[in-house]
Structure formats: C-alpha cells, structure tokens
Amino acid sequence: MSAYTAPLADMSFVINQVADLMGVAALPGLEEATPDLVEAILEEAGKLGSEVLAPLNRVGDQQGCVLENGVVRNPDGFKEAYGKFVEGGWNGLPFDPEYGGQGLPWLVSTAVSEIWCSANMAFSLCPALTVGAIELLTTHGTRELKEYYLPRLITGEWNGTMNLTEPQAGSDLGSVRTKAWAVDPSDAAISTFSGMGACYRITGQKIFVTYGDHGLTDNIVHMVLARVAGGPDGVKGLSLFLVPKVLPGAGGSLGKRNDIRNVSLEHKLGIHASPTLVLSYGDDGGAIGFLIGEEQRGIEYIFTMMNNARLGIGLEGVGIAERAYQHARAYAAERLQGRNVENPGGGSVTIDHHPDVRRMLLSMKARTEAMRALAYFSGSCLDKARRLPDPEDRLEQQALVDLLIPVVKAWSTDTGIDVANTGIQVHGGMGYIEETGAAQYLRDARIAAIYEGTNGIQALDLVGRKVARDEGRTVLALAATIKALDKKLATVSGDHNMAVIRGRLRTGVEALNHATRWLVETYPVNVAAVTAGAVYYLHLLGTVTGGWLMARAALAAEAGLAAGEGDLDFLRAKLVTARFYADHQLVGAAALATAFMEGGEIVATSGPELV
C-alpha cells in the first residue's frame, strides 16, 4: 500500500484563500489563529497521521476487533496510537480553555480532522464522536456534569458515544423503547454521585453503537435516548441521558462498573478496526444515567451531537477520497502498461500517460478539492456563527451552516464513495484484489452515506426544514453571493480557463435558482414530487457551491501566478483542477435541476406494487 501524506499545500491554500482564515482570526477569542500557527498545527497533525495512524490502517482492516469473554480487543497498535493522540492534545483543539480546550477555530479543527479520516478512518471515529458528545454536554449539560466529564472528554482521556438505534427503531427514533425511571435521591445506591444531578435507571438494548466498548480509554460516556414512563408517544416523549461505562467514585475518582453489557460485536463490510456494539442496559436492575437538560427534550438535545457528527462524517468523505486518490496516483505513476497514443511506436509507458487514466485521476483530485473547500468553508461559517459581534450576522451565518451541513454530509460522502470506486478502476484488475489496498477505501467509505441519517434523509431535511420552511431565503442569498463572483471572474476573462469556469458557474447558479424557486412553489402543494427528487437537489446545491469555491480558488491561483508568488506548480495545478471541475461536474447542474423538477412525478405517482 502507498504511504499517506497530508496534502498540506492544498489544505493551507483553502484555509487561507477560500475559507477566510483572516476573517476568522479577527473574531473575538480567535486572534491567536495566525497563518503561521495554523501551518505548524497542520504539519504536526500530518506527522501523526502519516507516521502513526496511517500504518495501522491496513493492520486494523485485517485484524479487526474481537469480543472475548465480554471484552472488546482492539487491533495491534491502536491503544498506543490513541495514547499519542491524547498526549498531543488533539482532541481539544476547538473547545473552551476553561475545561482544558485550546480555543482554536472550528476551521482549523475541521482541517485537522480530515487528516485523521484520511490516515485511518476507523480510528478517527472514536475522537469524532467524542467531539459531538462534548458539544452536546457543553450546550445542554448541568454545571456538575460539565465539571466532571468535560475535562476528561476534551483531553480524550475518556471517549463519548451516541446510543440511538434499536432493532425496531432505525431512522424512526419515535419507535425507541429503551426505558428510564427516576431514582429516589435518598437511595443509598446513588449517594456517591448524588451531586451530579437527577439520576435515572435505564433498561433496554441499543445497536450500532460505534466505539461502544474498547480498550483505548478507562471510561466511555454514552449519550442514550430513552423514554420516561408517562411521557407522550413518538419523539416528543424521548429524553436524553449520560450513562457512563464506569460510575463516578469518591473524590472524583472512577467507581464501579455500570450495569451495561456487551451483547455482540457487529461484523461489517468495512471500518473493521472500529468496534460497533450491541449494548444491553440494565440486565441487573438498571444502569445509572444522568438526565441531560429536561425530560422529553431528548430529540432536541441529541441533534446538537448529530449535527456535529454530520459535519464530521462529511469529512470522512473528503478524507477517504484523498487517501484513495493518493493510492491511485502512486499506482498509476508506477504501472507500466501499453503505449502512448501520441507515440504508438514507442515503448511501454506508465498508465498515467493514457488520457482516460488522467481523466479518472483528475476527477478524483478535482472532486476531493471541491469537497475539502466546502467542508472548510462550512467550518469557517460555524466560527462566524458563534463569534461575530452582531447578533443578526450570527443568525445569518448559522442559517448558512444549517443549510450546508446536510450537503457536506451527503454530497461529500456520496462523492467520496464514487472517488474510492474510481480508485479501484484506475488499478484495473489489481484494484479488485485486497492486497493492493484500493478496495479497503471503498469498503470503509460505504458506511458514511448510511449512518447519522442516510443521505436520503439528509436530502429530505434539506428540502423541507432548510429550504421550504424559510421559503428559500438562505439558499437564494447564497446563490446571489455565488452569482456576484461573476464580476471578479470577468476581470480575467481573457484567460481561456477562467472564461470557461465563469460560463459554467453562471449556468450552474441559474439552474440552482430555477430549481429552488420551483421547490418553494411546489412543496406546499405537492410535497411528494419534491421529496421524490430531493437527492438531486442536494447534489445540485453541493455541485454548484463546490464549483463556486473552486472558482474562488482559481482566482487566487491566477493572482498568484500573475504576481509570480508562491508555489507556481501548485497554482498551475489548481487552475487545472478548477477547470476540470467546471467542465466535468458543473456542466451537470442543469441535468440535476431537470431530474429534480421533472423526475419526481413518475416516482410520486407509482405505488410500491410497481417498484
């Protein structure tokens, strides 16, 4: 397998030229996030990714996790690697210094997380869920829970999980049956930790719990959805509980094991080194859990964690695409096969000389760069949504974050799967053989379009809650911003590549505007027609927004070339990928709009018996 090297040049370029690091560093509390500091952080993260995590990627895939006598065993090297991750303070980058975090921008944390996803996706899932648990607890937890759990979660000393799914309750969380009932405060069984807040007993079974048990940390903090007796049916009756693997002991120490049992370990298509558990709560009377916030508001609270997780999962699409691209690029540069079509009388050449192989490699590279730009841009918007001085400006940025999160999650993971699949194709028959390593990226990538809400659900959320509900105001404002770039592109229209990019982007944003207006008009009267083609609209928004960000990158590259500043080879390559994206991806915007507006009719009017 080829080695992984973090694409630091492109990461830094996108952070500075596309995602507006300067603007983020001007926000209150983020003044120390200078370009030099960010570059140093990325370099150190790149070293951990390439030297420690990436070599374990294949090991983890082959060994997997094992459940022995109720205990999960991790693959060789993972515990030591996690120790180095914790030692480096990587888990705490964006979090509050009051609890041990470093207070850095989410933009920076987003870029660093991409490195973990590329180097070892199975490993990255452990800190990714912990980040979500920290966000949830920070936003909704009591002071006592924060003081005890946040410092240990932020360091990574403990990890967090999300327990939602049950055998009968997948995407339909209203069907959750796990039960909870309050414990009398005078009960001697809870005397050691009575200061933590309202205690409950929890019984039930949860499935698909990522890192539900393992040997990397001394404690695991489960966030569990359960139903308190007497509450309403459906999602409105759900409450959220913090249920630790090990209960608090005297003086802040660890106490006894909670009433949680490992039932089984799932055998999965990919991410073999990530332990996915079936957990049973309360076999011996009820696991102890601490109420998060108020009863019957669990679904509201868990979405804080889920939205964070969805941004992180979008990064998995970026990361796995980058790793698959590097693997395919290295193979294509070494594999001798066939003769150059421009010199058929010559000898054998490496396959990257063949136009179709170059097309595949450029497709992998350009789409990965567009996904990266969208993820980093979203991270930048998140920083602004939390720290801009003006409340109206914060609301505007938050609306943009809310709009883009389902796109980052679904468009990036769908694209990541396709990029990994193309990587196999570049390898030819060797890509179908496990020993070359290309197949692992596709197997690992496949889950990202499924968990934390399938990509179809992301599309429904986009067209319903994010677009129709606000009558398209946020997406139309974004489209207006995209359209405004045309003036800048016109200033360099003498350059043929830039002229092509400008024309493709203009056509793409027109398609987005047209589809959005149709959505807003149609949703109230024919919701089935809109939802039947919702995935096409999501891909349209991702494709056009990605094209806009690639056009901005091309403008910055062109300016650098004109001034003779920077890595000129890198800048020329950036222009190539921006032009390729415009020619091969943006041109599909009109077709996506047509499929969305016209393709839903046949689906909506055809019953299950015709499928």
pLDDT in tens, 371-420: 999 999 999 999 999 999 999 999 999 999 999 999 999 999 999 999 99
Cα separation, 305 vs 318, in Å, equals 20
pLDDT mean for each 10 residues of the chain (611 residues): 92 98 98 98 98 98 97 98 98 96 98 98 97 96 95 98 96 95 86 85 98 98 96 95 95 92 98 98 96 96 89 97 98 96 92 97 98 98 98 98 98 98 98 97 98 96 97 98 97 89 98 98 97 98 98 97 96 98 98 97 91 90
Q: Which two tokens stand for residue 12?
A: 């830094």
| Strand 260-265, strand 159-163: pairing | unpaired
Please give the pLDDT value at position 1: 64
Q: Determine the topology of domain 55-88+120-296 in CATH.
A: Butyryl-CoA Dehydrogenase, subunit A; domain 2 (2.40.110)
**71: burial class by Cβ within 10 Å (0-12, 13-18, 19+)?**
exposed
The ranges assigned to domains in the chain are 55-88+120-296, 454-611
Please give the pLDDT value at position 252: 79
Please give the pLDDT value at position 36: 98
pLDDT one-digit tens code per residue, 126-163:
999 999 999 999 999 999 999 999 999 999 999 999 99
Close Cβ partners of 255 (under 8 Å, ≥ 6 residues apart) = 192, 193, 246, 247, 248, 249
Q: Is 452 a known active-site residue?
A: yes
Catalytic residue, candidates 166, 316, 322, 452:
452
Close Cβ partners of 147 (under 8 Å, ≥ 6 residues apart) = none
Cα separation, 611 vs 598, in Å, equals 18
Count other C-beta atoms under 10 Å from residue 319's C-beta.
32
Beta-bridge mates of residue 161: 222
Reference 116, options 106, 103, 126, 104; nearest CA is 126
Cα separation, 330 vs 604, in Å, equals 46
- Predicted TM-score (pTM) above 0.85: yes
pLDDT one-digit tens code per residue, 469-500:
999 999 999 999 999 999 999 999 678 999 99
- Sign of the CA dihedral with 358 first, then 360, 366, and 369 last: negative
